[in-house]
């Protein structure tokens, strides 16, 4: 490039540079087109919500039950199952399949059809920090459908946790049976020893008295063991998972939202107006 070419190049750069005034001028020239397409896009977006299946969202809260002696530690005692395991259980495909099959019995056996249901993909769960609560959420094509799915899901969790709790309670129940049998045997032995003590002579009475005292000491130990084991089965120490809140269904659909679709249509329409304006300007220059 020579020194003589520099002024021409600088002039060309000045021509190609877009200023704020150019932008304002472009907007003024195409304002009607941009505004018209933006309004049209908003109207189409809002109108489109009437053609899309509506979805209602609902929630239900479960309190995870306790199982005395369980190795799973919760915020207020040993739990039937950890909170994270319960969340994972609910989000398993097999769990969702069972829930959907109960809600839509006409689709039983058709796994693909069940998994295409809105509620199948929307069935989720989360823990509530600092508590033994798990919140289940889902969506349905109607408020009734969402409520039915949540009801069935909660029932399945309760049923599966009841089975876990029963297995956890089996050992304390067995121990309690053994202790009760030992107490019954001890009671009979004490009756016999007391009868023998009543008819014994001096030397024999000392031996019988020692045996009675030993039997009473054994009975006290058995009573203490029975109390500790029975506490594991007490209603406030071992109970099943339960629903602690009524099922809550949103009053209005969560999808589609007219506001979001309207704003989306507005933006798309405005961008379309800008692109048409640029196309028109390019054709004018080329002409």
For residue 153, what pLDDT is reported?
96
For residue 267, what pLDDT is reported?
87
Helices 20-48, 258-286: axis angle to 10 degrees equals 140
Q: How far is CA 150 from CA 57, 103, 105, 143, in A?
A: 10, 10, 16, 11
pLDDT digits (tens, 9 = 90+) for 132-166: 999 999 999 899 999 999 999 999 999 999 999 99
Res. 5: pLDDT tops 60: no
pLDDT digits (tens, 9 = 90+) for 159-168: 999 999 998 8
The residue extents of the domains of the chain are 56-249
Mean pLDDT in residue range 113-123: 92
The DSSP H or E segment spanning 192 is helix 143-199
Mean pLDDT in residue range 167-181: 86
Rounded CA separation 223/226 (Å): 5
> What are the residues whose beta carbons fall under 8 Å from the beta carbon of 266, sequence distance 6 or more?
38, 39, 41, 42, 45
């Amino acid at each position: 490039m020579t020194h003589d070419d520099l002024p021409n190049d600088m002039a060309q750069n000045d021509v190609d540079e877009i200023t704020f005034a150019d932008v304002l001028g472009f907007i003024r020239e195409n304002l009607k087109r941009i505004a018209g397409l933006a309004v049209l896009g908003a109207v189409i977006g809002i109108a489109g919500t009437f053609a899309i299946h509506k979805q209602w969202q609902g929630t239900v809260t479960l309190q995870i039950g306790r199982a005395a002696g369980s190795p799973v530690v919760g915020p207020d005692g040993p739990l039937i199952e950890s909170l994270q395991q319960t969340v994972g259980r609910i989000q398993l495909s097999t769990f969702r399949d069972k829930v959907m099959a109960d809600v839509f019995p006409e689709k039983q056996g058709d796994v693909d059809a069940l998994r295409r249901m809105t509620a199948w993909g929307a069935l989720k769960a989360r823990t509530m920090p600092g508590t033994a609560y798990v919140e289940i959420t889902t969506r349905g094509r109607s408020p009734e459908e969402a409520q039915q799915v949540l009801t069935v899901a909660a029932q399945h969790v309760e049923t599966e946790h009841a089975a876990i709790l029963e297995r956890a309670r089996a050992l304390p129940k067995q121990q309690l049976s053994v202790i009760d049998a030992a107490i019954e045997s001890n009671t009979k032995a004490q009756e016999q020893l007391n009868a023998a003590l009543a008819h014994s002579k001096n030397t024999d009475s000392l031996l019988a008295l020692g045996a009675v005292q030993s039997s009473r000491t054994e009975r006290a130990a058995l009573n203490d063991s029975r109390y500790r084991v029975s506490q594991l089965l007490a209603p406030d120490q071992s109970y099943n998972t339960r629903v602690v809140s009524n099922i809550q269904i949103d009053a209005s659909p969560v999808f589609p939202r007219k506001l979001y679709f309207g704003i989306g249509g507005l933006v798309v329409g405005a961008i379309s107006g800008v692109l048409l304006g640029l196309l028109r300007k390019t054709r004018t220059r080329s002409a």
